[in-house]
Structure 1
Amino acid sequence: MQRDIAAFEEMDSPDADPLMLERTYAQFPLVNRCVSGWRSVYLGLVRPALPRNRTATILDIGCGGGDIALALLRWARADGLSLKVTGIDPDPRAHDFASRAAAAAGFGPEELEFRRAASAELVAEGQVFDVVISNHVLHHLDPPALSGVLADSQVLARSLAIHSDIRRRRSALLLFGLATLPLAGTSFIRRDGLTSIRRSFTRDELARVLPRGWHAHAAGMYRNLAIWRREPPAGR
């Protein structure tokens, strides 16, 4: 199955139906709990990279409705860790939903901040975070934008960057299509999810587009992780 880079996700349209879009953001937590695998990524990669002697910081690029940022905070709190997560998304609709979700969850600005911004803006501000992440962002990007986000991530991350995305397989289309039948017509989740699978990379395709220092890792049956670690200074 060839990658379909021309396929367009309806929620990305500036004219997307507001009610359908709202429902899509509201359904993301359920879908991501089932398919994104962030709990294992947090336990195996993110948590070990967080400092214990101060408040750790995470940047979530393209945070959408903010459910991954909220999950990371809850897990860190349960582990007794002090953490602040910053979520950025240039889409004002995503920013509005995520900000409301943060308020409803009771997280204050010292723990969670959502900004309407792109990664390049934070680079220009001189911002730095312990860990930089994204979820389901890479397949949206054309080659120049992909290169830009990866380069920005290396500047913004003190120690680790992880971009998690779908791994394209025919069986993923079939299983996702069947599993999301109950959601058909209620939001953009099913249609855009199938489009996302068609737009996504195989592990080998992702490895070919990653710059030096990045590694493509196949996580589970249907996940790709693009991982970058900052090398310690020479002599240490």
Structure 2
Amino acid sequence: MPDFSQRSTALEWMDDLSSSGDIIVQTLKELDTINRLLGGNNISLTGLKKLLSRHPEKRKEKIVIADIGCGGGDIMKLLAGWGRKNNLQLELIGIDANPHVLEYARQNTKDFPEIRFEQIDIYSKAFSKLKFDIIHTSLFTHHFPEPELVAFYSQWVGQVNMGIINNDLHRHWFAYHSIDWLTRMFSRSPMVKYDARLSVLRSFLKADLEHILHKAGIQSYDIQWKWAFRWELVIYA
């Protein structure tokens, strides 16, 4: 039985930025399917609604959203579609370190001119100088150890006008065994089969998130548990 008391430090296949070709395409497609069917993508949308409720004046202005670790761009499509239906002017900037992922994402979002992509080093001074209304991440922060997350949040909160949305996994035995069974039964991607369980082991308890935010000096936030074993973390600027 894996140890669920603390976060795993093992690396996922997705952490290899040279990953490319059919395995990346298949993985990104399957991740979109899993996240849609289990309701994970909608957590990002509810986070956006919470920030808008705090800043109703922004409904009449352009809202710039940076999606860090954007993957295939599927959540950006969800947000863009919702924005269109609600007469919002959204500018969505997908940021990812893997150029092969961005190549797929650009094709995947070609019908959404409000979406664009940048390959930017989020550790760089150039990135730290950028300003956004919202920074969003989904299934991204669990890839990093606590000291880096503390540094990220400390920096990001100064880069946004509205806030930060973090959509990530709850480390729990049921989530671990459920995703193991689902991917063994239905996945055709070796990367998904390997990374899925490990992603759960690298993810968070509520206490982990609270500890990281405390060390980052962040006090204004909301953490909600969501199905299926997700955390919706909204940080208010």
TM-score by length of 2: 0.84
Gapped regions of structure 1 (runs ≥ 5): 231-236
Check the 8 A contact 2:18/2:98 in 1, yes or no. no
Q: Per-residue displacement from partner, 1:35-86 (whole Å, max 9, x unpaired)?
A: 4534244244244346122221111111111111111101111222111101
**For 1:102, which of 109, 127, 130 is the aligned residue?**
109
Answering whether residue 73 of structure 2 is matched by residue 73 of structure 1, we say: no
What secondary structure is seen at the aligned counterpart in 2 of 1:179?
helix
Q: Which residue pairs with 2:136 in the alignment?
A: 133
Q: Per-residue displacement from partner, 1:192-218 (whole Å, max 9, x unpaired)?
A: 111100111111122112222254613
Query: For residues 179 and 154 of structure 1, do their structure 2 counterparts lie closer, same or farther at Cα, with a shift above 3 Å needed?
Result: same
Q: Per-residue displacement from partner, 1:94-115 (whole Å, max 9, x unpaired)?
A: 2111112122xx122xx11110
Q: Which residue pairs with 1:162 in the alignment?
A: 165
Trace 1:170-181 onto structure 2 (pairs within 5 A).
170-181=173-184
Q: Which residue pairs with 1:82 in the alignment?
A: 89
Deviating more after overlay: 168-177 vs 213-222: 213-222
Q: Which residue pairs with 1:234 in the alignment?
A: none
Q: Which residue pairs with 1:37 in the alignment?
A: 40
**For 2:121, which of 118, 123, 126 is the aligned residue?**
118
How far apart are 1:118 and its partner, in Å? Answer: 3.0
Q: Which residue pairs with 1:189 in the alignment?
A: 192
Deviating more after overlay: 135-144 vs 39-48: 39-48
Query: For residues 124 and 191 of structure 1, do their structure 2 counterparts lie closer, same or farther at Cα, with a shift above 3 Å needed?
Result: closer
TM-score by length of 1: 0.85
Q: Which residue pairs with 2:223 in the alignment?
A: 217
How far apart are 1:179 and its partner, in Å? Answer: 2.5
How far apart are 1:122 and its partner, in Å? Answer: 7.5
The one-letter amino acid of 2:26's match is R
Q: Which residue pairs with 2:66 in the alignment?
A: 59
Check the 8 A contact 2:24/2:101 in 1, yes or no. no
Tell me which of the two structures has the higher relative contact order, counting C-alpha pairs closer than 8 angstroms and 6 or more residues apart. Answer: 2
Percent identical among aligned pairs is 23
What secondary structure is seen at the aligned counterpart in 2 of 1:188?
helix
**For 2:233, which of 219, 223, 226 is the aligned residue?**
226
Query: For residues 35 and 7 of structure 1, do their structure 2 counterparts lie closer, same or farther at Cα, with a shift above 3 Å needed?
Result: farther
Q: Per-residue displacement from partner, 1:102-155 (whole Å, max 9, x unpaired)?
A: 22xx122xx111100133447657322211110011110123321232123212
Task: Please give the root-mean-square deviation of Cα atoms over the aligned residues, in Å.
Answer: 2.3
What secondary structure is seen at the aligned counterpart in 2 of 1:30?
helix
How far apart are 1:187 and its partner, in Å? Answer: 4.4
| Paired residues, number | 226
Query: For residues 198 and 125 of structure 1, do their structure 2 counterparts lie closer, same or farther at Cα, with a shift above 3 Å needed?
Result: closer
Deviating more after overlay: 183-192 vs 77-86: 183-192
Check the 8 A contact 1:57/1:84 in 2, yes or no. yes
